[in-house]
Structure formats: structure tokens, C-alpha cells
């Protein structure tokens, strides 16, 4: 029975799941998801060594594959993540006694998770004309420490292909004088050449927006705790989030639907349940495109361990093709 270590390495925390793949098919999580503070490790290898410093459902030597979702682009088994001070390199697996591993972008893992049982508890934001996942490409967009994007499509061999994107680093499209004034203020304050999604639709972006609209300089968690008393912050952020989701759905022709993921909306669902989110998502210059967008299923994933399950599914697909 294969053993898979699946992980979602984040800028703030990292989650690990120990899975087996019974002969009857599917994946089974052994024990609980393990959470470690990413910044408390001095290196990637050190993080994995900390994981196995305590007894786990199976030892590193018994692991057939470590499937590790990472917050950035992957090249030749290496990821230089913008929000982690050390680089993630598969060459360091041996420090923890692991023999084989594979890296995938963290939102590729989110995309794979859309085909796992982890999506069962998703909140429906828009029903669409067909069930979620049926009829074509699925788009996943999510605000957390960064703004992730990924598309999931059949690979033509009976499996799935995740197509990662660094869309969070593309220029953010502000609309109207008030938004452009905010964008210019944000650009100057952040010292960046242009405002990109990571600066606008993320936890830090929520805090910056709230300060711009109210004058209150708060942490993202503090803003989240007072959203009921901050209607302008909610309305603006919901509009921005809906715009990001719409633009990516159109970019990849997400006829299978859109999944909103990431910690910001998972912890503060009002930010996508506000009417401004769907109003912006459905807005388009042509009636045909507006109709298309209104017919797409849109769901909100509130399971913050979602990426771990997606990494496990990715790992199982790799092992099946050995």
C-alpha cells in the first residue's frame, strides 16, 4: 500500500498530511493534519526534519513519495518563494530521510483538490447552469498571503493537468477615479512600480484598503474582526475579488466553474458573499460574456487544509504512472 506525505508549504504556516492509497482506490488520511510554523525553521530541510522529530503515522523511510505544494513557481525541483526567507529544494529531502519527492505550485494543489472529497463542504456562491467541475476547465483563485491562480483540465490520459499561474503578480485593473486614486496611493506607499494582485486582493491588501477608507491602521486579523462595522471595506474588497475571479475565469474559459479558495475568504466569507462580488463577477462589456459568466458555477472553499488533499491526489497520480 503506497504511503504519501502531502504538504502545503505556506509563507506563515505549513500543513502536512500522511496518506495511504488502499488497493480499492482513493486516498485515506492517517491521523490529523500536522501544522508547523514555517518561519521557525532555518531551512526547507530543517522544516522536514522538525516534522519527523516526533512520531508520525509512518516514518520518512516508509514514504513512497513526498508531494509538496509550494507558494511560487517551480523550476527543476526548486522554488524560490517570495514570502519565505529560504528556498525550497528537493535536494534537501534527505535531511529528513525522505527518498523521493515532487514539488507543485500551491495553487496547482488547490486545483487538484477540486477533484477530491475535500470540496464536499464548499459554499455555493452561484449555482450555474451545470454542476461544478462538469463541462470544462476549472479555475481556482484565492487570496491569502499572496493571490493564487490555477486552472485544472483533463490531461487526455484519464488524469488531470494543473496549469499554474503567477496571476497575482500581474497589474491589477482599477476602474474609475476613486479606485485609481487608491491605486496611486497604494503604489507610492508600497514603493512598487505598479499595483499587482498580491498588493490588493490579499490579507495585507485588505488591511491597506481598510486604512485607506477609514484611516485605521490595523492588522488583517483585526480588520477581519470588525468587518461587520466596515461596510465600505467589505464592498470595495468584494468588488476587487469579484474582478479577479471574473478576469481569470475568462482568461482560461472556466466552463467547469470557479473555486474561491485561500484563507482570506475562508475566514471572512462576507468578502465574497457580499452582493458586490457576484455583481462584479458577472459584469462584462458584452451581453454574451455577461450571460456566460452568470452561468458558471462559483463555490467558496472554506477548508484551509484543501491544498494538502490536492497535493496527495497529485502524488497518487504520479505513483499510478510509475
Q: What is the pLDDT of residues 99-110, one digit of tens each?
A: 999 999 888 999
- pLDDT of amino acid 220: 96
- Report whether pLDDT(213) > 80: yes
Cell (9 digits) for 11: 509563507
Cell (9 digits) for 141: 483563485
pLDDT tier, 158 (very low <50, low <70, confident <90, very high otherwise): confident
pTM of the model: 0.88
Average pLDDT over residues 143-168: 89
Q: How far is CA 213 from its chain centroid? A: 27
- Quick one: which of 138, 147, 136, 148 has its CA closest to 113? 138
CB-CB contact of 202 with 143 (8 Å): yes
- Report whether pLDDT(23) > 80: no
- Report whether pLDDT(24) > 70: no
Q: What are the distances in angstroms from CA 265 to CA 86, 145, 260?
A: 28, 12, 8
Q: Which residue has the higher pLDDT, 138 or 10?
A: 138
- Report whether pLDDT(310) > 70: yes
Q: What is the dihedral of CA 243, 244, 250, 256, to 10 degrees?
A: -110
Please give the backbone phi and psi of residue 43, each rounded to the nearest 5 degrees, phi first: -160, 170
Q: In the chain, how long is the greatest CA-to-CA distance?
A: 60
Mean pLDDT of the chain, nearest integer: 94
Q: How far apart are the first and last CA of the chain?
A: 14
Residue holding cell 507610492? 188
- Report whether pLDDT(322) > 90: no
Amino acid at each position: 500500500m503506497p504511503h504519501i506525505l502531502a504538504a502545503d508549504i505556506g509563507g506563515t504556516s505549513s500543513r502536512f498530511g500522511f496518506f495511504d492509497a488502499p488497493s480499492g482506490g482513493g486516498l485515506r488520511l492517517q491521523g490529523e493534519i500536522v501544522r508547523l510554523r514555517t518561519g521557525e525553521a532555518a531551512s526547507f530541510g530543517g522544516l522536514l526534519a522538525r516534522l519527523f522529530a516526533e512520531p508520525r503515522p509512518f516514518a520518512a523511510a516508509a514514504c513512497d513519495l513526498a508531494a509538496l505544494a509550494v507558494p511560487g513557481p517551480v523550476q527543476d525541483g526548486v522554488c524560490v518563494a517570495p514570502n519565505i526567507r529560504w528556498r525550497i529544494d528537493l535536494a534537501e529531502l534527505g535531511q529528513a530521510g525522505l527518498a523521493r519527492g515532487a514539488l507543485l505550485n500551491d495553487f496547482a494543489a488547490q486545483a487538484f483538490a477540486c477533484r477530491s472529497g475535500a470540496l464536499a463542504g464548499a459554499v455555493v456562491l452561484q449555482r450555474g447552469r451545470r454542476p461544478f467541475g462538469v463541462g470544462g476547465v476549472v479555475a481556482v483563485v484565492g487570496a491569502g498571503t499572496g493571490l493564487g491562480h490555477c486552472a485544472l483540465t483533463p490531461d487526455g490520459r484519464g488524469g488531470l493537468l494543473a496549469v499554474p499561474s503567477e496571476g497575482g503578480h500581474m497589474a491589477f485593473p482599477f476602474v474609475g477615479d476613486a479606485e485609481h486614486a487608491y491605486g496611486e496611493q497604494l503604489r507610492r506607499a508600497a514603493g512598487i512600480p505598479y499595483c499587482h494582485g498580491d498588493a490588493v486582493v490579499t490579507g495585507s491588501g485588505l488591511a491597506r484598503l481598510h486604512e485607506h477608507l477609514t484611516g485605521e491602521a490595523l492588522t488583517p486579523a483585526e480588520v477581519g474582526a470588525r468587518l461587520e462595522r466596515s461596510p465600505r471595506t467589505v464592498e470595495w474588497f468584494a468588488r476587487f475579488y469579484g474582478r479577479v475571479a471574473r478576469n481569470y475565469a475568462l482568461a482560461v474559459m472556466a466552463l467547469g466553474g470557479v473555486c474561491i479558495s485561500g484563507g482570506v475568504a475562508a475566514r471572512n466569507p462576507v468578502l465574497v458573499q457580499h452582493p458586490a462580488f457576484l455583481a462584479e463577477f458577472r459584469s462584462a462589456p458584452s451581453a454574451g460574456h455577461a450571460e456566460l459568466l452568470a452561468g458558471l458555477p462559483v463555490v467558496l472553499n472554506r477548508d484551509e487544509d484543501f491544498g494538502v488533499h490536492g497535493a496527495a491526489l497529485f502524488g497518487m497520480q504520479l505513483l499510478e504512472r510509475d
